[in-house]
Amino acid sequence: MISPFLLTDFYKTIHHMCYAEGMTKLVSYWTPRMSRKEDMHKVVMFGLQPFLKKYLIEYFNDNFFSRDKEEVISEYKRVISKTMGDIASDTKHIEALHDLGYLPIQIKAVEEGSRVNIKTPMIEITNTHEDFPWLVNYLETFMSCNIWQPMTSATIAYRYREIVEKYFELTVDKGEVKRACGDFSMRGFSSIESAEISASAHLLSFVGTATIPAITYLEEYYNANLDEEVIGVGTPSTEHSVMCSYGEDEFSPYKRLITEVFPKGPLSIVSDTYDYWNVITSILPTLKEEILNRDGKVIIRGDSGDPVKIICGDKNSEKDSDEYKGTVELLWDIFGGEVNSKGYKVLNPKIGTIYGDSITVERCEEICKGLEEKGFAVNNCTFGIGSYTYQYNTRDTFGFALKATHAVINNEEKFIFKAPKTDKDNFKKSQKGMCYVYKEGEDILYKDELTIEEQAKYKDNLLELVFKDGKLIKDYSLDEIRNRLHGNF
């Protein structure tokens, strides 16, 4: 494991020499500066706590403060001198920090699980020792690459929850919204760490997941306890290799799976390996009694084609054909069900459907709307959300950045800010001075251009102390974050 001071961009390593002389304090704010996602104008605060625990505490202690000073300095100097030159490889600032023995950093943040308006600062970071103002923005890259992903995924998951919640209220009288969407994204992520971070963010809004490491991640970093609460649930499911192992005989695997292998409990069976519509209209009817007498739900999973048409039907197909009716209506024709108190059809509880391929935010809403228009409750289908949704994003999806806004130089407070004239939309314009973050109705807004003393007068500042001098001050639980985000998870 390398020194944390090598876990950054090259240019950060020389900034301690470049700041204005006499600077003893620097304050920076982490802010979502824009949204590139439709109908997502607030960002969910999530993912800072694991960074504090795993990196600012554990990693710094194990790989810097607890290591031999000469070893740490030698490692750093070797890399920087051979890549940036001798001037850049100055180590006096790092030696001084090692001698100090702790990380002189203070971090304040809005509560995890809060939804923060675009352009409102979410995190404040500053130094607590006047010799180390350079350390504040040195941590920017290290912090950014660890926290933009969970915030982005949590925000997107919240949007799915908004959509299904809207249609649940309209069409469902029995059913849990938190079971409407599952996370299928792990195989599409760039690393185990990024997968578990994103999948944990999904679990703020839902409980369905295929990503096992998200469970232990939330136990380790968010005080969750699998023995005492529902962190996430998986569903026994087949894949195409299982179905293909039987050859093109599609009857045998269905009968064996539902009567011998999983005779009870939920079982999701991928059904498009060969002939999806034939499975539904020919094979399922021959197994109707076994399915209805089974203690549990058989879930039919489509995995190819247009998800909206597969679930809701294709209005452009031949009238009353399988394609025209779609999965939910065909299952209704075979297994029946009941009409709920809101007047919508609900499939027999022994049968259901899931679709886990290409379910974008837009398609999720299309399917919900399509089912509602056909008179079916939305909980007849569950949705799998994949890596296209959760991985196909960047730090710029919500324009996250950590920018310096306030400094103390030669004992004088200075408002520092970025406002490029070439930035016509003011996307890159930063705050000035100290910030006060407050709630107004359903919005979280801010006031800037404050001195340190002026900011301190706002006792209701939503930026709360979470980390100071190498120690965690605030320790959130998964349960409180979920309930803060959704009122009542």
- Residue 429 has what pLDDT? 73
Q: 378 and 259 share a domain?
A: yes
Q: 238 and 347 share a domain?
A: yes
CB neighbour class for 417 (10 Å; exposed up to 12, middle 13-18, buried from 19): middle
- 3 state SS of 454: helix
Is residue 26 domain-resident? yes
Is residue 485 domain-resident? no
Q: 79 and 125 share a domain?
A: yes
Q: How many other C-beta atoms can be found within 10 angstroms of the C-beta atom of residue 58?
A: 11
110 lies in which domain range?
4-151+397-475
CB contact at 8 A, 461 and 455: yes
Is residue 387 domain-resident? yes
Block means of pLDDT (10 residues each) for the chain, 489 residues, are: 96 97 98 96 98 98 98 97 96 98 98 98 98 98 98 98 98 95 96 97 98 98 98 97 94 97 97 96 98 98 96 97 98 98 98 93 98 98 96 97 97 90 74 97 97 97 98 98 95
Domain end among 341, 372, 391: 391
Q: Of 401, 402, 408, 400, which Cα lies nearest the Cα of 127? A: 408
Q: 112 and 166 share a domain?
A: no
Q: 125 and 226 share a domain?
A: no
Q: 163 and 143 share a domain?
A: no
Q: How many other C-beta atoms can be found within 10 angstroms of the C-beta atom of residue 187?
A: 11
- Residue 488 has what pLDDT? 86
In degrees, to the nearest 5, what angle opens at C-alpha 67 toward C-alphas 90 and 48? 85
Q: 258 and 315 share a domain?
A: yes
- 3 state SS of 31: strand
264: region left, alpha or beta (phi > 0 left; psi from -120 to 50 alpha): beta
Q: 232 and 87 share a domain?
A: no
Q: 243 and 364 share a domain?
A: yes
- Residue 421 has what pLDDT? 80
- Residue 418 has what pLDDT? 75
CB contact at 8 A, 398 and 122: no
Q: What is the CATH number of the domain that holds 377?
A: 3.20.20.70
Q: 383 and 435 share a domain?
A: no
Rounded distance, CA 300 to CA 291, Å? 12
Domain end among 342, 362, 391: 391
Query: What's the distance, Cα to Cα, between the start and end of the chain in Å?
Result: 39
**Buried b vs exposed e over 62-98: b needs ≥16 C-beta within 10 Å?**
ebbbebeeeebbebbeebbeeeeeeeebbbebbeebb
Q: How many other C-beta atoms can be found within 10 angstroms of the C-beta atom of residue 20?
A: 11
The two beta strands, 267-270 and 298-302, are parallel
For the chain, what is the domain count? 2
- Residue 113 has what pLDDT? 98
Rounded distance, CA 268 to CA 455, Å? 55
Rounded distance, CA 383 to CA 381, Å? 7
Is residue 488 domain-resident? no
pTM for the full predicted model: 0.97
CB contact at 8 A, 203 and 185: no
- Residue 457 has what pLDDT? 97
Domain end among 373, 391, 409: 391
